[in-house]
Structure 1
Amino acid sequence: MAQSADVPAAQEPVPETAEKPAPYDDKLARLSEILGAVHYLRNLCNKDGEPGWREAMQALIDAETASEPKRRARMVAAYNRGYRSFASVYTTCTASAVAAEGLYRNEGATLAVEIAARYGN
């Protein structure tokens, strides 16, 4: 029996693209968490705000996870965890907030250099 022209033929399901973790995903997750923390702390202590930290994170997410929604979700979660961890502690800029921001920024810079040197093209 011929199929009717207005009823589409059954299609085979399209397999979900398998996401393969990168060997540096743990370091990238930590870097994402650090960027979230630094974004919160820098904006807390700088009355003019610094949107560059969030923009840098967005560029990193876009570059690393363009077609991998699960990796993207993990990076976003790590960023938000870093942001929220300091938002729950600091509501005003204090000397310890400034010190924490400096420590996190240094750790982030070290991680970024390490990831690029070891895994970059």
Structure 2
Amino acid sequence: MNKKIVHVLLPALLGLTLLPVRAAHGQYQAQGEYADVRSQDYLRDVVALASTLGSAHAIRVLCNGRNDQYWRSYMQELLGLEAPYQGRLRSSMVDAFNSAYSAEAARRNSCDAGAVSAEKVYASTGERLANSLVQANLPEAARRSGEDND
């Protein structure tokens, strides 16, 4: 529905995997062979992004039918990039997506102007969260040079 925001969201998500992970107070230790360290703020935001995608997906399915997997495909991409292996982070992201989907599906029973507007808000929120995740993981020097360009 809002293709401009979507074209910005995917590159931002893809950019997350290209950045070095910055350790912070309150670290999260993934289980297993592929463990890495991520800040609690990062975990909060990536789970919030998964939740936002779940809400948007519920509206998209309501308005366009079950064959429209637009936002779900973004969630699959996010999982592949940020939590490709079984573990707490992946489980938290999937649970957040599914819970938000269920809550939004229970809240709405028709695709009206309010639903279309809500999907746009979710898309905008998702874009903000993705950009926040990218900014939080940029090295300090890169953040300062970006501020110089403003």
Short-chain TM bin: 0.7 to 0.9
User: Aligned-pair RMSD on alpha carbons?
Assistant: 2.3
Unaligned runs of 5+ in 1: 1-15
Are 1:103 and 2:118 matched, yes or no? no
Runs of 4+ with deviation above 6 angstroms = none
Q: Distance in 1 between matches of 2:69 and 2:78?
A: 14
**1:120/1:76 Cα in 2 relative to 1: closer, same or farther (>3 Å)?**
farther
- Sequence identity, in percent? 30
Are 1:90 and 2:105 matched, yes or no? no
Aligned position for 1:22: 38
Aligned position for 1:55: 73
Whether the 8 Å CA contact 1:42–1:49 is kept in 2: the answer is no
Aligned position for 1:3: none
Q: Report the CA distance between 1:99 and its aligned residue.
A: 1.7
Q: Deviations over 1:55-108 (max 9, x none)?
A: 111121122122342111100000011111111111211222112111111111
Unaligned runs of 5+ in 2: 1-30, 140-150
Q: Which amino acid aligns with 1:98?
A: V
Q: Distance in 1 between matches of 2:51 and 2:84?
A: 19
Aligned position for 1:11: none
Q: Which amino acid aligns with 1:69?
A: G
**1:86/1:68 Cα in 2 relative to 1: closer, same or farther (>3 Å)?**
same
Structure whose residues are more often helix by fraction: 2
Q: TM-score, normalised by structure 2?
A: 0.62
Computing the radius of gyration from Cα coordinates, the structure with the larger value is 1
Counterpart selection for 1:46 from 64, 69, 86 = 64
Q: TM-score, normalised by structure 1?
A: 0.75
